[in-house]
Structure 1
């Protein structure tokens, strides 16, 4: 099995735990956790900023920076849009499950700036239909560029059955600035956390560098994580099954700038229409 593909842990509430040490990179930490009704998770962010994403269920958070509660959490990632909670450095909090089966994912990284906490509901989450033809997908921008944080970026992506995603292939592993000092490409580490509607479903993801010193093809299934330390990283969803993945990114800059594989750049001008199956989820679905 590729070292980039991480399978979920069995018999553990924290079924994923990826750190700079385990991933052999510098910035990004990622975990996924399931809690039963009334169970609590207590934590101190210390020198890190933290982003918590509600995958399914409901929770309430009490902290020394404020209190928040979800009331219309989705039953799964294909039944609505996420609630997102951003917490800054030096926040002591308790998260409690207020539903029978709570599923959350969260990413964090060390920072040297302070920003206010922010709770984003499904109704306030920007939704973008991007791409075209059989490379159309849906972005729910949970923590987009300009969010008001130091390094974290977070987005959930819905790719319809048979479509390509993260395509044309792109990378963000070299910091490049233009003449005015604007970031054309940052150094960012990234996790792809996958969910599917059925256990037999899968996606196919390639991770490669131009010189092919890294060239891996992996087949993530439900609850798998693919780590992107560098290189281009396109995805295709298996025919017959819609694909969900949650991206956390952290690195030198809080942005989504990237460099497209020059062999694929022409594809941007080739699209003639959007896939009419999108959007796959809306904030209205959270109310049902």
Structure 2
């Protein structure tokens, strides 16, 4: 079952997309990638990914708060099949692309797991499809985990050369908040689309850990250029004397 489907056409832009697929135990899902390169990200559960001659078994995880996951890159003009013995939820992050690059399985050991910020701005960034980890044509994707009460995507920033999707999950069913052309309450399964302009922070309410998946792509060079909003850029300087939140990193033995 398709739980969420954001395409460049439905978003009113040219490149970024996201689909969330829910599989019951033993179910299978298939799609033609067409002109989209795809990164398969298990949100919960394990899955076998096959294309026209390639295969990868993704160990996945129990939930997005249960540590990083291995992912798979699937090129354009492929037939993508997902099969899950025990069922689960799987994000298909997409970007409209031109180059056909090789299928690739990216285990956690090859990713860059980063603890960013400090104090109440502490968060964890799992870089699995950023420019320094994955060779792709256009897609850039990562996931950010923010302990309850903390702020991420802060200071506010922009990267107007990229169309950005924020997909949210909130532990315990609580609310979270995202600033982007105003402040919006978000809950599990919701998205915020950011075509351009200043955005952030993403706010995890006390008691409710926050996860979001970022999917980005654009017409220019594949580069993640971030410009802090000048009025608030000074906040970075305050982190120097603060410790990283001791609740990080999110790991299986902790949650």
Give the whole-Å Cα distance in 2 for the aligned partners of 1:226 and 1:80: 23
Q: Which of structures 1 and 2 has the bigger CA Rg?
A: 1
Q: Report the equivalent of 1:258.
A: 226
Corresponding residue to 2:176 among 179, 196, 203: 203
Alpha-carbon shift at residue 278 of structure 1 (Å): 4.2
Contact 1:50-1:107 within 8 A present in 2 as well:
yes
1:145-184 equivalences in 2 (<5 Å)? 145-146=131-132, 147-173=134-160
1:92-127 CA distance string (max 9 Å, x none):
23211121x310111212212122111112233210
Give the whole-Å Cα distance in 2 for the aligned partners of 1:50 and 1:65: 16
Structure 1 unaligned segments of length 5 or more: list them. 1-12, 174-186, 208-214
Contact 1:190-1:228 within 8 A present in 2 as well:
yes
Give the whole-Å Cα distance in 1 for the aligned partners of 2:42 and 2:107: 10
Give me the TM-score of the superposition, normalised by structure 2. Answer: 0.93
Corresponding residue to 2:2 among 2, 14, 38: 14
CA RMSD between the two structures: 1.6
Give the whole-Å Cα distance in 1 for the aligned partners of 2:170 and 2:206: 12
Corresponding residue to 2:168 among 194, 197, 203: 194
- The alignment covers a number of residue pairs equal to 250
Structure 2 unaligned segments of length 5 or more: list them. none
Contact 2:170-2:176 within 8 A present in 1 as well:
no
Give structure 1 regions of 4+ aligned residues with deviation exceeding 3 angstroms.
none
- The answer to whether residue 241 in structure 2 is matched with residue 276 in structure 1 is no
Q: Report the equivalent of 2:42.
A: 54
Give me the TM-score of the superposition, normalised by structure 1. Answer: 0.82
1:48-197 equivalences in 2 (<5 Å)? 48-70=36-58, 72-99=59-86, 101-146=87-132, 147-173=134-160, 187-197=161-171
1:37-87 CA distance string (max 9 Å, x none):
1111112212221111011111112221411112x3211111121221101
